[in-house]
Structure 1
Amino acid sequence: MTATAQPTPATMRASVMTGVGELRIEDRPVPAPGEHQVLVEVAAVGVCGSDVHYYRHGRIGDFVVDAPMILGHEMSGRIAAVGPGVDPQRVGQRVAVEPQHPCRRCPQCKAGRYNLCPHMEFYATPPVDGAFCRYVLIDDDMAHPVPDSISDDAAALLEPLSVAIATMRKANVRPGSSILIAGAGPIGVICAQAARAFGAARIVVTDLVPSRRDMALRFGATDVLDPTAVDVSAIEPVDAFVDATGVPAAVVSGIKAVGPAGHVVLVGMGADEYALPVSHIANFEITVTGVFRYTDTWPAAIHLVASGAVDLDGMVTGRYDLEHVGEALDSDSDPASLKSIVMPS
């Protein structure tokens, strides 16, 4: 039996992507929570680079938008109703949503790598709808309670912070570490904050745009570089390199800046294939890996924000309603824009 604080409406408004560069407002049915599910009334949704990529290109690699789809997967809200098997006391609870539904039965899930579940249903990844709408469903254990000290905006941005936490874990960042981050966009800046929170002593961020480099300094970088003015591969070697650009030249120069037994984590979306400096990787025994979402990162993310170690509210540079989702998706063209928020309610 479903438990609700008050009756939910039968329909809701949603911003639906109907084609490349095309959006329209539609009325959609409000879904009912099933067993071990909760219905979340969405408060805030961060705009991610993947949302922008789907909107502009209609695909990311093998994921193709071939039917109308709701974008948005960085979200927070309030539990409006719960399905069977969920404590009815959760109704009204403020939550940050981990936007994925793994099968929980495959070898990857059982090994604790549920982010690699081949049956994953991930918000705003074709054909699964996202959160540019008023209500969403999620498994109850993927709706993480947040304290009142964390705003709705910051609770939504726990999702990209989770990417950064997963990245720092793979980069083996520890107190006293040094790290190079290519790109001072939203993920690069959040990675700089996460690196500082993990104890990195030297955090070098590269970006072509001066205002972005200044922003990186505000949010944790100890040094910033213009990669067109400095040979990044020749800087004092670092323990770890994180690419948040997807640009082959940035990846190659970043790898060459990594010292012996260092770690490289590829986060940015770019070309599917490109040449790497294999002799440097082999001779220095450098570990090169990627990050595909996250596992078990929300507790750490909540702690980092609640403790003040990471500032997510300060990254918000614009807020938009459902009628202006297109403007939110295009806001990345402004160098002063860092993180845009859509408020569906």
Structure 2
Amino acid sequence: MQAAIMEAGRIRVAELADPEPGPGEVLVRTRACGLCASDLHVLHHGEQLVQWSRHAGGPFDMDLSRPVVLGHEYCAEVVDHGPRTERRLRTGTRVTSAPVVIRDGRVGAVGLCNDLPGGFGEYMRLSEDLLLEVPDALDDARAALTEPVSVGMYYVRAARLRHDDVVLVVGCGAIGLAVLAALRREKVRRILVSDFSEERRQLALANGAHSVIDPAAQAPMADGPPSVIFECVGMPGVLDEVMRQAAHGARIMVAGWCLQTDHVFTPVAHTKGLIVQFGGGPAPEDFETAHRALGEGEIEVSSWLGAQIGLSEVADALEAMRDPANPIRTVVDPRQS
């Protein structure tokens, strides 16, 4: 198959053997896959992430001397069934799934393992039990965004919001927008969004934020202290600044994965009695809720989408994600050259 592979710190198009579905697995052809900022981070900091995973049981189970096919936000179609499958979805059915494969009681991350190629390639092998059929009303590109939307669903569910909570979302990338969408779905009465980018602030308003803040001109807490803060940036120093500005008793949900060593001044949290909750990730129920919400039109992500590209354009498109003026999601279709 053709794939945009990560090798020796760069992305290039290469020919790889087609993956073969094992027991309980289905072979699928990728129709659309979103480019995520975490893919860019893996490209430039892969060795550090692999070392961390080996010591702490993280998901980055890669041999960087061998090709890796990234891509964990996808819509695909069923091509073939492996042994011991129920064959409940016929060939040609459009599907999506949480980006994990379960085999022999072990969980592997699609797009983060050498032997589990992701959506930057023509074919993937996925666990049949996790596949969700994509409804006709949902096109390939929007279906591929089920994964980031499920992240927002998880963090909002985990926050256990109260009816009188005022919420601040810090950062308006894909995860910030996904949190915003989940908050709107829960009918939260007051949602503030903070981002340095004018384009991102306007996008937040278009997606239902009640008010937006430019932190270069105004402190995010200046309009009154939010009771719940979702940190959706994931860069060193951001959590520390959020903690310093938060009100006494605030709850902070750390949705932005900082994949570098970070530091916070913990006496601030002690003095203010802050509740700081780190990640985890979407459960199957969150992925299913996101899938249903997208399919039924409860959540609309069309405004997130930019160009649809082919494999040869993946390398440049990943680097372009550094610019917040660019669209939230570029989608690759590996069927294009």
Once residues 77 and 144 of structure 2 are traced to their aligned partners in structure 1, the CA distance between those partners, rounded to angstroms, is 12
Match of 2:331 among 334, 341, 345: 341
Q: 1:276 to 1:196 in 2, by over 3 A?
A: farther
Contact 1:47/1:341, CA 8 A, preserved across alignment: yes
Match of 1:121 among 87, 101, 108: 108
Contact 1:233/1:253, CA 8 A, preserved across alignment: no
2:55 is aligned to none
Match of 1:201 among 172, 189, 203: 189
SS at match of 1:292: coil
Contact 1:163/1:291, CA 8 A, preserved across alignment: no
Once the two structures are TM-superposed, the CA of residue 78 in structure 1 deviates from its matched residue by: 1.0
Match of 2:302 among 307, 313, 323: 313
| Percent of aligned pairs sharing the same letter | 26
Residue 329 (str. 1) matches residue 318 (str. 2): yes
Contact 1:174/1:199, CA 8 A, preserved across alignment: no
Match of 1:227 among 196, 215, 221: 215
Stretches of structure 2 lacking an aligned partner (at least 5 in a row): 53-59
SS at match of 1:58: helix
Contact 1:236/1:257, CA 8 A, preserved across alignment: no
Which AA in structure 2 matches 1:337? Answer: P
Once the two structures are TM-superposed, the CA of residue 285 in structure 1 deviates from its matched residue by: 4.1
Once the two structures are TM-superposed, the CA of residue 13 in structure 1 deviates from its matched residue by: 0.8
Once the two structures are TM-superposed, the CA of residue 196 in structure 1 deviates from its matched residue by: 0.9
1:291 is aligned to 279
Contact 2:320/2:326, CA 8 A, preserved across alignment: no
Match of 1:47 among 35, 42, 53: 35
SS at match of 2:15: strand
Once residues 318 and 259 of structure 1 are traced to their aligned partners in structure 2, the CA distance between those partners, rounded to angstroms, is 41
**Cα deviation 1:289-335 (Å, max 9, x = unaligned):** 12233211221002211232211222111211011111221231341
Which AA in structure 1 matches 2:168? Answer: L
Once residues 264 and 186 of structure 1 are traced to their aligned partners in structure 2, the CA distance between those partners, rounded to angstroms, is 18
Contact 1:98/1:144, CA 8 A, preserved across alignment: no
Once residues 273 and 57 of structure 1 are traced to their aligned partners in structure 2, the CA distance between those partners, rounded to angstroms, is 15
Q: 1:221 to 1:256 in 2, by over 3 A?
A: farther
Once residues 217 and 176 of structure 2 are traced to their aligned partners in structure 1, the CA distance between those partners, rounded to angstroms, is 20
Stretches of structure 1 lacking an aligned partner (at least 5 in a row): 1-11, 106-118
1:124-163 equivalences in 2 (<5 Å): 124-127=111-114, 128-163=116-151
Once residues 17 and 214 of structure 2 are traced to their aligned partners in structure 1, the CA distance between those partners, rounded to angstroms, is 49
Higher percent of residues as strand: 1
Query: So what's the TM-score if we normalise by structure 1?
Result: 0.84
1:111 is aligned to none
2:96 is aligned to 96
1:124-273 equivalences in 2 (<5 Å): 124-127=111-114, 128-173=116-161, 175=163, 177-256=165-244, 258=246, 261-270=249-258, 271-273=260-262
Q: 1:247 to 1:16 in 2, by over 3 A?
A: closer
Once the two structures are TM-superposed, the CA of residue 121 in structure 1 deviates from its matched residue by: 1.2
Query: So what's the TM-score if we normalise by structure 2?
Result: 0.86
Once the two structures are TM-superposed, the CA of residue 248 in structure 1 deviates from its matched residue by: 4.7
Once residues 149 and 48 of structure 2 are traced to their aligned partners in structure 1, the CA distance between those partners, rounded to angstroms, is 21
Contact 1:175/1:200, CA 8 A, preserved across alignment: yes
Which AA in structure 2 matches 1:237? Answer: P
Contact 1:32/1:39, CA 8 A, preserved across alignment: yes
Contact 2:153/2:178, CA 8 A, preserved across alignment: no
Contact 2:102/2:127, CA 8 A, preserved across alignment: no
Contact 1:99/1:142, CA 8 A, preserved across alignment: no
SS at match of 2:84: coil
